[in-house]
Structure 1
Amino acid sequence: MSATREAGLPEAGRPVLTTVAIAASLVAFVVIGALQALYGPAIPALREEYGISPAGAGLSLSAHFVGALLGVLIYHVLRGRLNNRVLLGGSYLLMAAGATLFAFSPSWNLALTGTFVIGLGFGGIDYGLNQLFAIGFGRRSTAMLNVLNGHFGVGAIAGPALIGWLGADRYPQIFLGIGVVCLLILATLGGVAAREPEPAPAPAEGGATSGARVLPIIAVFIGIYVLHVAIETGVGGWEPTHLEAVGYGAATAATATSAYWAAMTIGRFVVAPLSLRWSAPSILIVCCAGMAGFLVLATVPALAPYAYFGVGLMIAPIFPTCLPWLNRAVPGVAAAGAYVIAASMIGGVAFPPLLGGVIDTMDVKALPLVLFGLAAVCAALSLWLRKNAPDPDGVSGPRNAGADRADTVSM
């Protein structure tokens, strides 16, 4: 295999993403991270403007996620018919149009339509850029995906901070500004390759892509994505309640929860250089075992706030580390990435109420142990994947250093 093919160059030395397009993609992930995090802080202003209940205001996030899930599926279906520039351009336009409609809607029903349209664009950008980064940088794809998704976390932190600084009543201007940024990004789409490179051929000797193994491998990846998102949202949603139940004040619990979400961002930036030396299976196993270990520590009240920070660090690399590995494990299944990204969104919507139902039948102090059970299953699945879907492109040591040099041409 040539260095050009390894680096993900589809034709005549052209990179999948130029440096300008990479920078624009990072900005785009800051934008979608901010958008997802803006609905909650805007709820007081939404209730006052439209005269709706808290549950009604919460529908904005539900409409967003429904749109995002459909956006992923629509983008995937259209990949074979339209090129990347058209699909990404359409996604940015949908986000801009939806943000404008949401900002200046005269009625709540139209505002909900706006969040749904935002979600359609959000899903397309999330899926499209994750896929391009997963195949566009050879062995550095894991590192670059962690950097990309780290910028999502930057936006998720910055969005609520911006609302806090300007005031919730300024949410229309903030959403309009986000729409303008989406339109500006359109100017960089010339740096995106129209088509991705063809997947590498499957290994000849008993590789992980043999027909009998493909479906189980995809199913296990989906299981890991669903479960780790369930843990992520479970901690994010219930950490404050658990900490208050074991004796912490409301302010301390809120600060600890903010630190947990910050850890989700920090962890991705930290693991980016580590992924150049350590294989995806090794990183996944350490992260799953680390989640389980920190959740056990969270049962000790004195350690709980720090343990949840550790859980955030361990969860952070799983999504961006597994996606390139999945593409290498089943290169002939173009839909695999769409399946796992859609699964992560479904997990984020479905598991919070399910977990709430479990906690209703138990004491909230049992939260860490309930989530530990999910983390233990994740760890078992990660060990199965290491055996059944080996990742030869993720080796550590001198070979990886050589791969890094080959991949630099994609920049």
Structure 2
Amino acid sequence: MKRLFVLSCLFYLLIGITSVMTGPLLPEMLPYYERGYGDGGTLLFLQFAGFLVGVLASPGWAARIGKHRLLSVALISIAVPYAVMGFLPGWLWMMLLTLLVGFGSGIIESTIGAFTIEFAEQNKAIAMTQLDVYFGVGALLMPAAISLLIAAGWWPYAFLTASAFTFVLLALWMTLPGRSSERLRSPNAAMANSASVKKRYTGGQFRLLAVFVVFFFVYMGLELGLMNFLPLILVETVQIGNSTASLGVTSFWIAMVVGRLFAGKVAERMSYVPFLLWSAIGTLVFITALTMTTHPVGVLALILGIGLAMSGLFSIALVHANILIPGMTERTTSILIASGGIGGSVLQWFIGWSMARWSAGSTLWLLMGFTLILLLSVVLSFQWKKASQGSPSLQAGNRFME
């Protein structure tokens, strides 16, 4: 099972890479194809649309063909399009291939997240945060690699490099020993291990699910909003140069990766609700302080604090939701990741509208409002847990990570 977990980490490294591949390449791609910024936005939207379809389709497909075959399909949906994109086909082909990459990425994030929560029976938080570490490493390193390729005039090789890595991962996945993946190969086993296909949520579970849908919708809007608009906010509020402002995003992701190295162990010791509460409170405090700080060093320190505070929110909340709603792991994971993807898209537009209509300072207050919603969601989930379910017990060993 240890090999399975290592491959799961590599899967998350891959989707970290795919999540940031298109954006850094747009300054080169758009002039090459004689396209404008609107076409770049369309390309990003198509990747998101494919991701959403992949996330929503994965539970049903896993039940029919098994997770092992489904993940093989997902890897092919990424490896082949990137290989073709490296040769710079026509723009319509680039749009279609980008849609396929998003589709494969959505299947991977949903499926890997679901069976990690299912198999890591005791230390679920540690397993999920370790996966998120690899996602963060991919999202952190790929833009740097792309910038080097662009500087050398070899930017199409970014697609070929990602394709080569995906093909290697596919080969490792296809040769995974049967003993390590027997629970992933059979469609019937997939159906038995996840009753989410046939069971329905009870009234209390549905209310809990609604709370977590709001949580993930807002969280991804906050994370992506900080990632994409932080440089603009810093330029306006701190009055620093563009190159210096871009370091804010790098610092944010470094803090996220470092925080995820420890978040799982801390959450297991504290228990999930206190961890989520203190993480949301910490995020709120640091963002509030950011509205009142103009010194570059102080701003950098606060950005590091925000990254550390937010580092475990996604993975621990995902584990917490699945514990509160047992027996529905695949469906719950798929719904929550999909809601996060939609929230990231919708709220980013709202943040951009705020920047254009008001000011960067007002946008920071908007981000504070998002954090308050996260905090309220955690409190509500705890109250409903006490009222309807009590505290579920976790037994069995940590076989998945051994």
TM-score over 0.5 for the pair: yes
Which residue of 348, 361, 370 corresponds with 2:366? 370
Q: Which stretch has the larger CA shift, 170-179 or 135-144?
A: 170-179
Q: CA deviation at 1:115?
A: 0.8
In structure 2, distance between residues paired with 1:375 and 1:153: 21
The RMSD of aligned alpha carbons is 2.3
Counting matched residue pairs gives 378
Q: Is the alpha carbon distance of 1:392 and 1:66 closer, same or farther for their aligned partners in structure 2, counting shifts above 3 Å? A: same
Task: Provide the residue aligned with 1:243 in structure 2.
Answer: 234
- 1:294 counterpart = 2:286: yes
Task: Provide the residue aligned with 2:213 in structure 1.
Answer: 222
Q: Which stretch has the larger CA shift, 132-141 or 52-61?
A: 52-61
Task: Provide the residue aligned with 2:161 in structure 1.
Answer: 174
Q: CA deviation at 1:199?
A: 6.6
In structure 2, distance between residues paired with 1:43 and 1:181: 26
Q: Which stretch has the larger CA shift, 146-155 or 242-251?
A: 242-251
Indicate if the aligned counterparts of 2:72 and 2:174 stay in contact, CA closer than 8 A.
no
1:50-74: CA deviation from partner (whole Å, max 9, x where unpaired): 2222331333322111101100111
Residues 256-275 of structure 1: pairs in structure 2 closer than 5 A = 256-275=248-267
Indicate if the aligned counterparts of 2:79 and 2:164 stay in contact, CA closer than 8 A.
no
Q: Is the alpha carbon distance of 1:173 and 1:223 closer, same or farther for their aligned partners in structure 2, counting shifts above 3 Å? A: same
Indicate if the aligned counterparts of 1:97 and 1:118 stay in contact, CA closer than 8 A.
no
In structure 1, distance between residues paired with 2:244 and 2:28: 26
| Stretches of structure 1 lacking an aligned partner (at least 5 in a row) | 1-17, 201-208, 395-399
In structure 2, distance between residues paired with 1:210 and 1:60: 36
Q: CA deviation at 1:169?
A: 4.3
In structure 2, distance between residues paired with 1:312 and 1:393: 30
Letter of the structure 1 residue corresponding to residue 310 of structure 2: I
- 1:85 counterpart = 2:68: yes
In structure 2, distance between residues paired with 1:295 and 1:409: 37
User: Taking structure 2 as the reference length, what is the TM-score of the superposition?
Assistant: 0.87
Q: Which stretch has the larger CA shift, 241-250 or 170-179?
A: 170-179
1:158-178: CA deviation from partner (whole Å, max 9, x where unpaired): 211211223324334323323
Q: Which stretch has the larger CA shift, 360-369 or 347-356?
A: 360-369
In structure 2, distance between residues paired with 1:408 and 1:392: 23
1:259-301: CA deviation from partner (whole Å, max 9, x where unpaired): 1122222221121221231211111111111111111011122
Residues 54-133 of structure 1: pairs in structure 2 closer than 5 A = 54-133=37-116
| Stretches of structure 2 lacking an aligned partner (at least 5 in a row) | none
Task: Provide the residue aligned with 1:280 in structure 2.
Answer: 272
Which residue of 326, 331, 334 corresponds with 1:331? 326
Q: Is the alpha carbon distance of 1:198 and 1:180 closer, same or farther for their aligned partners in structure 2, counting shifts above 3 Å? A: closer
In structure 2, distance between residues paired with 1:78 and 1:172: 28
Q: Is the alpha carbon distance of 1:284 and 1:237 closer, same or farther for their aligned partners in structure 2, counting shifts above 3 Å? A: same
Write 1 or 2 for the structure with the bigger share of helix: 2
Indicate if the aligned counterparts of 2:87 and 2:156 stay in contact, CA closer than 8 A.
no
1:211-234: CA deviation from partner (whole Å, max 9, x where unpaired): 331111000001111111111122
Indicate if the aligned counterparts of 2:80 and 2:163 stay in contact, CA closer than 8 A.
no
Indicate if the aligned counterparts of 2:273 and 2:378 stay in contact, CA closer than 8 A.
yes
Task: Provide the residue aligned with 1:212 in structure 2.
Answer: 203
- 1:49 counterpart = 2:32: yes
The percentage of aligned residue pairs carrying the same residue is 21
Q: CA deviation at 1:31?
A: 1.4
Q: Which stretch has the larger CA shift, 157-166 or 220-229?
A: 157-166
Letter of the structure 1 residue corresponding to residue 202 of structure 2: G
- 1:26 counterpart = 2:9: yes
Letter of the structure 2 residue corresponding to residue 124 of structure 1: I
Letter of the structure 2 residue corresponding to residue 306 of structure 1: A
Letter of the structure 1 residue corresponding to residue 346 of structure 2: A
Indicate if the aligned counterparts of 1:99 and 1:178 stay in contact, CA closer than 8 A.
no
Q: CA deviation at 1:370?
A: 1.1
Q: Secondary structure at the match of 2:124?
A: helix
Indicate if the aligned counterparts of 2:222 and 2:344 stay in contact, CA closer than 8 A.
no
In structure 1, distance between residues paired with 2:166 and 2:28: 20
Q: Is the alpha carbon distance of 1:135 and 1:126 closer, same or farther for their aligned partners in structure 2, counting shifts above 3 Å? A: same
Q: Secondary structure at the match of 1:173?
A: helix
Q: Secondary structure at the match of 2:279?
A: helix
Indicate if the aligned counterparts of 2:10 and 2:134 stay in contact, CA closer than 8 A.
yes
Q: Is the alpha carbon distance of 1:340 and 1:409 closer, same or farther for their aligned partners in structure 2, counting shifts above 3 Å? A: closer
Residues 356-395 of structure 1: pairs in structure 2 closer than 5 A = 356-389=352-385, 392=391
Q: CA deviation at 1:409?
A: 7.2
Task: Provide the residue aligned with 1:38 in structure 2.
Answer: 21
Task: Provide the residue aligned with 1:307 in structure 2.
Answer: 302
In structure 2, distance between residues paired with 1:409 and 1:218: 26
Indicate if the aligned counterparts of 1:95 and 1:182 stay in contact, CA closer than 8 A.
no
Indicate if the aligned counterparts of 2:213 and 2:336 stay in contact, CA closer than 8 A.
yes
Q: CA deviation at 1:410?
A: 5.9
Q: Which stretch has the larger CA shift, 308-317 or 139-148?
A: 308-317
Q: Is the alpha carbon distance of 1:249 and 1:393 closer, same or farther for their aligned partners in structure 2, counting shifts above 3 Å? A: farther
In structure 1, distance between residues paired with 2:85 and 2:141: 20
